[in-house]
Amino acid sequence: MDTTPSGHALVEAGWQKVRGDGRVRPELLEAAYAEPRLRHLFPWTGMGELHFSRCTEWPWAWDVPYIQPAANGEYWVSGPLRSESVGPAVTPQQAVTMVVDRLPPNCGPALVGALSR
């Protein structure tokens, strides 16, 4: 587990990037960032989805569920694999809680670099 200032800085830069790219609803980003267990993971986006990685470099770790936008401002939690579905969430906070409840054991701050395969 990397808790060095450089690891923290990389994760924080990742959060700043996803806030600025406009791909994810701002209220979801704020709810996820407010949760300490997610704030220490490296965020990345794709197709309007908010993903969380336990490493700071690609290939991202795919062992944490992710949050997708759904109709009427709601959300859908899936994963960690694309073929796995967790379920719907009405609010960003519900979606975040669903992800946190399914974090892998010992899911701590993101490691600097890519995870060993």
- Cα–Cα dist 96/53, whole Å: 14
Q: Over the chain (117 residues), what is each successive 10-residue block's mean pLDDT?
A: 70 97 96 98 95 94 95 96 95 98 94 82
- Cα–Cα dist 10/66, whole Å: 20
Residue 1: per-residue pLDDT: 43
Q: Name the one residue in this structure whose structure tokens are 């997708």.
A: 68
Residue 5: per-residue pLDDT: 55
